[in-house]
A and B are shown apart, each in its own frame.
Chain A
Amino acid sequence: MAASALDIRDVRKDFGATSVLKGVSLSLAPGEFLVLLGPSGCGKSTLLNMIAGLDPITAGEIAIDGRVVNQVHPKDRDIAMVFQSYALYPNMSVAKNIAFGLEMRHIDRAERERRIADVSALLQIDHLLKRKPSQLSGGQRQRVAMGRALVRDPKVFLFDEPLSNLDAKLRVDMRTEIKKLHRRLGTTIVYVTHDQIEAMTLATRIAVMRAGVIEQLATPQQLYDEPANMYVGGFVGSPPMNFIPATLVENGSALAVRFAVGPQGAGGEVTLPLVDTPAAARGYVGKPVVFGLRPDALTDFSDAEAMLRPHGQRLDVEVDVLEPTGAEALTYVTLGGTTAIARVNARRAVDVGETASLLADMSHARLFDPDSEQAIG
């Protein structure tokens, strides 16, 4: 087995009495793109700083390319970092900014210039080399910051929310650019963000963090389809997963969820049979569960696509709110006493107050324990 590019073993971080990281472990194969995803204060940036060597480690071990680096100075860790603020040296030209790390490593001038030329060509910033950071646009600064990291050709790249200072359009462009760079260079990247779309588009694996622990570490698709708990289901995906309070009942040989429909249960109760339920679910029969269903698994019944969903179940419910977004309309309805969102083709959307016929694709259903909020099975 090849040595992993990055190993994090039960790493903890305490600031005085407060624990910021409560034991985090993960392992990264060379060439992986890992995104640390979570809200601010979840410890993702602290973890990144500890990998960089900017924050001391309270307990545990970090190894880069098989070498434990706990006591190694940041400059000797063979990493490079792109900062949220870019942290370009304002007094130096773009070329000097890019070359600074090489200069500190006593790489001779000819070699430095060759590498600057390579990197600036790759990032299309060759025409900016003589400028000062203050003369650059946000997107250009972003490129220079990446150039400064790339020029060093390190084992692991660290990105700390690199796109959050860009406007929406530029953010999407740069996202694509980073993805292309990763494809092309095959580098190992650890990338911190709070933006789940960024995480989903870029990552080969995502670690969803909350309050100093990793809630789930999986590929983007796994994370989306099989969230380990309600937190992940709610954090990943936009709009978030619907969580419908329901009761688990037996429906012949299979299991089903039963819940009230419409405001104050005006639409009566429905029982929707589940598809291949996990064994653990048997223990919940007759008890309350949370029935999780992505908005895109709750669609328009009359849609032609409904035919293609063999496990689709019909649901008739009054529409509370309608939010057209162009191609589709988010239809807000009340299921199990709480709001649920359905993604409906905008041209067939039903107006507020009228009854919509929705299709729940039960093959995408997910059950959660209402107390622990963990997925069942």
Chain B
Amino acid sequence: MTELSIHGGANTASARLGRLAIYGALAIFAAFYLMPLAVMVMTSLKDLDDIRTNSLLALPERLTTFAWSHAWNEACIGTECTGLAPYFVNSLVMAIPAVAISTFLGALNGYALTKWRFRGANLIFGLLLFGSFIPFQVVILPMAQTLGFMGLSSSVAGLVLVHTAYGINFTTLFFRNYYVSLPDDLVRAATIDGAGFFTVFWRIVLPLSPSIIVVTVIWQFTQIWNDFLFGASFTSGGSQPVTVALNNLVNTTTGVKMYNVDMAAALIAAAPTLLVYVVAGRYFIRGLTAGAVKG
């Protein structure tokens, strides 16, 4: 599209008006997307009086970080008034191993399925592909039973297992789609050179994979960090991930409703994934569009 718009007679008045309209529309949309975040940030920096008396669009009269520190280590979640901190740690302890394991297995699977095609490889791919579309509601009940049976109910370890098990299909798809475009000749050449399955993986395939590893890690981290259904279904009390704790904090009705604390808590819960997005948005977008399935 790019070059054509230049020749479109950018000098005429109507063309300039058109450009103005385009930028105007884009700015209005930008405001719509930014507004909730802006209001959250401003509100989290206000005190309660300020919130009650002034408009939510107004800048804070007095900046205070009270809401942030309160949300982090004092706010009540259910009956426990520990703030979000321990739950934030739960989420980290849950997400890091689950992301690492599922990404590693995905890489290995993707490599085996594309570069060492064996009978049934396509069937396995189909099974995994369909798995990534299953609504998790259909596995919650038996998973709860299984976790209970394994003694992992309401534990972070249980969540690591769940997120790994239900993440492998996504990671495998990501790596498979990437490795499909890696020339088979590399593996053939390495085979003649005398490298076996794992040598080819470690020495040749993995060193070519940093970008897809980043894409997969970001995708998995975002999914796992933001999960609510598994966390709400399989944990209670002190083992909850931060999303569940946030929801409980916001819905805790005892005492005065502290909107500023709610907003600070929400921002704390959103911070890691937002940070990842800001730092590596390019890879996040690639993950999203790669999620749009290619056979």
Residues of A within 8 A of B (CB): 49, 52-54, 74-75, 79-81, 83-87, 89-91, 100-101, 104-105, 148
Contact = CB atoms under 8 A, between A and B. Distances in A.
B208 interface: yes
Interface string B180-214: 00010110111111110001000110011000000
A152 B217 CA distance: 40
Interface residues of B, number: 16
A86 B185 CA distance: 8
Contact of A75 (B186, B192, B204, B208): B192
Interface string B261-290: 000000000000000000000000000000
Given A90-B208, A104-B199, A74 B185 contact: no
Given A89-B186, A90-B208, A91-B207, A100 B192 contact: no
Nearest to B188: A54
Nearest to A145: B189
Nearest to A158: B192
Contacts of B192: 52-54, 74-75, 79-81, 101
B194 A87 contact: no
6 contacts: A74-B191, A75-B193, A75-B194, A87-B186, A87-B189, A100-B190
Given A54-B188, A81-B189, A104-B199, A91 B194 contact: no
Interface of B: 183, 185-186, 188-195, 199, 203-204, 207-208
B183 A85 contact: yes
Given A91-B204, A104-B193, 7 more contacts: A74-B191, A79-B192, A89-B189, A89-B190, A100-B203, A104-B194, A148-B189
A84 B207 CA distance: 22
Given A89-B204, A91-B204, A104-B199, A83 B194 contact: no
Contacts of B195: 75, 100, 104
Contacts of A75: 191-195
A91 B191 CA distance: 17
Nearest to B192: A74
Contacts of A90: 208
Contact of A101 (B188, B193, B204, B207): B193
Contacts of B191: 54, 74-75
Contacts of A80: 192
A41 to B, nearest CB: 18
A87 B185 contact: yes
A106 to B, nearest CB: 9
A105 B186 CA distance: 18
Given A74-B191, A101-B193, A105-B194, A91 B183 contact: no
A177 to B, nearest CB: 21
Contacts of A148: 189, 193
Contacts of B203: 89, 100
A84 B208 contact: no
A90 B181 CA distance: 14
A284 to B, nearest CB: 49
Nearest to B205: A91
Given A91-B207, A91-B208, A101 B186 contact: no
A107 to B, nearest CB: 11
Contacts of A49: 188
Q: Which residue among B183, B194, B199, B207 has the maximum number of chain A CB atoms within 10 Å of its CB?
A: B194
